[in-house]
Structure 1
Amino acid sequence: MSKKKIGFIGAGNMATAIINGLLKNDPQNAERLCVFDLDSAKCALMAEKNISIADSCPALAKQCGIIVLAVKPQNYPEVLADIKDSVSDDTVIVTIAAGISIDKVRRGLDRNCPVVRVMPNTPLLLGKGASALCRSENITDEDFDEVRKMFALSGEAVLLPESQMNAVIAVNGSSPAYVYLFAKAMVDYAVSVGIDRDTALALVCKTFEGSAEMLRKSGDSPEVLIQKVSSKGGTTIEALKVLNERAVPQAIIDAMAACTRRAEELGK
């Protein structure tokens, strides 16, 4: 990786996950990291990792060649206005908030900075993330590769056109919540029939983990894998009948579409 200084405005879960990946890859990366957060407790945790703490957003922006905006979408206008006079035309801005477009970042800064728009997800915290990235037309290959590696160190990182970035939020960004909802229902049922909650959770987690590996490694489509679990007249068929009668697949599709619509609203 290059030696550009990397700044994080915001030190929440996502920033922590990215930083942990960088430090795990090379502890000396701490020397090129800088953080600013209004929460002094979060800053103290970063200082314990030997990461420098900036006094303000502008102070951070002046010293960093790559700036990761790890704040909520509604805070972007304020943060961009705060750093607009402290960044240069070649400062790389990384946005990881839902619905925040490359153009919105540039308008907020009133300059044509190179921008990488990223949609990560929370499993990044465990090094198992799935991140989608798109790049502005004026970012160098070297700078983009630097940003891509930041996310690849903590999971899968794929390149998409920006036209797909709102839609992909439903696929990777918000989707862990769908998985947890399904898991909750499965565990709740198990408990209702007398199975210990911890035992049920362990079985559900391992089932999800193994099923994901089957999807990744078997070479079979989801449809084929469903067929392989199901036998005529068996128990799985009965469960699938109920799910289909309740239109669960369509409900998932509708939920994902709602997620995308909200991302588009946030970007306006």
Structure 2
Amino acid sequence: MKTLKIGFIGAGNMATAIIRGMIGKGGYQPESIFAYDLNPLQLEKIGELGVQAMASAVEIVKQCDVVFLAVKPQNYEEVLTGIRQAVAPEKIFVTIAAGISTEYIMNTLGTPCPVVRAMPNTPLLLGKGATALCKASNVTDQVFHMVLDIFAASGDVAVLTEDKMNTVIAVNGSSPAYIYLFAKAVVDWAAAQNIENKTALELICKTLEGSAEMLRSSGNTPDELIKMVSSPGGTTLKAMEALKEHGFYEGLWDAMDQCTKRAEELGR
């Protein structure tokens, strides 16, 4: 494959994280990456990476072989109709917005361009992201693996069918927020017991890191790991009983259902 020109419409945090990965681990040269954003401060910031700033979204499409659509779902119709004039069938599009289907993008562009759909998450900013991806039927394996490699430079990737993409948002896209809320509750409770915020935050962060590694590499199921911590008649068991009483598990299920429902609404 020739050296491709990669463009970003939208130069916010997620686009910046992807670009950092491309330059850092992905082997891309900054001069092959182009970006446009309505906010000149965002363009100035991303320009510090050596990326080429462009004057409009249309210029991105004209200049680039692959175009990342890194804007909010609510802005997709405006952006897609605005660039339609510059679109050619060979242009490759990558969407990272919740709820936006590959079919919607092709229909709105009026051209059956190859479209890859991705759902990254904010840990991508640290190179520790988890991105789920799918592709439209007209995307070649070569193109798809190129996009997979871009996201793999900033974390782990998983390939799904498109009918699972709205659902997976609740699993990886939005789930960092659930974890941050859990951590906040722990730190706030510790503060109420006169434990220093910095100490509590460090302890819960290390606990989350270690627990994640246990889930990943121990070979035990979540239920088995819970049982390992929960001695009969002990403190953890009492805590788990309180969580059950307050519907902790069911509350998470409802949160994930609502997340998926909203993704479906955004795609209508």
Q: TM-score range by the shorter chain?
A: over 0.9
Aligned to 1:249: 249
Aligned to 1:115: 115
**Cα distance in 2 for residues equivalent to 1:126 and 1:79:** 28
Shift of 1:62: 0.5
**Cα distance in 2 for residues equivalent to 1:229 and 1:61:** 54
Shift of 1:37: 0.5
Aligned to 1:266: 266
**Per-residue deviation, residues 198-219 of structure 1 (Å, max 9, x unmatched):** 1000000000000000000101
Moved more, 138-147 or 22-31: 22-31
**Cα distance in 2 for residues equivalent to 1:30 and 1:188:** 43
Shift of 1:27: 6.4
Aligned to 2:184: 184
CA contact (8 A) 2:121 2:130 kept: yes
Aligned to 1:171: 171
Aligned to 1:155: 155
CA contact (8 A) 2:26 2:153 kept: no
**Cα distance in 1 for residues equivalent to 2:158 and 2:28:** 26
Matched AA of 1:262: R
Aligned to 2:236: 236
Question: Could you say what secondary structure the match of 2:116 adopts?
Answer: strand
Shift of 1:12: 0.3
**Cα distance in 2 for residues equivalent to 1:243 and 1:24:** 42
CA contact (8 A) 2:99 2:267 kept: yes
Q: How many residue pairs were aligned?
A: 268
User: Unpaired runs of 5+ in structure 1?
Assistant: none
Within 5 Å, which residues of 2 pair with 1:32-51? 32-51=32-51
Aligned to 2:58: 58
Structure 1 vs Structure 2 CA RMSD: 1.1
State, as a whole percentage, how many aligned pairs show the same letter.
53
Matched AA of 1:158: A
Matched AA of 2:169: I
Deviating beyond 6 angstroms after TM superposition, the runs of 4 or more aligned structure 1 residues are none
**Cα distance in 2 for residues equivalent to 1:142 and 1:29:** 20
User: Unpaired runs of 5+ in structure 2?
Assistant: none
CA contact (8 A) 1:2 1:146 kept: no
CA distance 1:154–1:26, change in 2 (3 Å): closer
Matched AA of 1:216: R
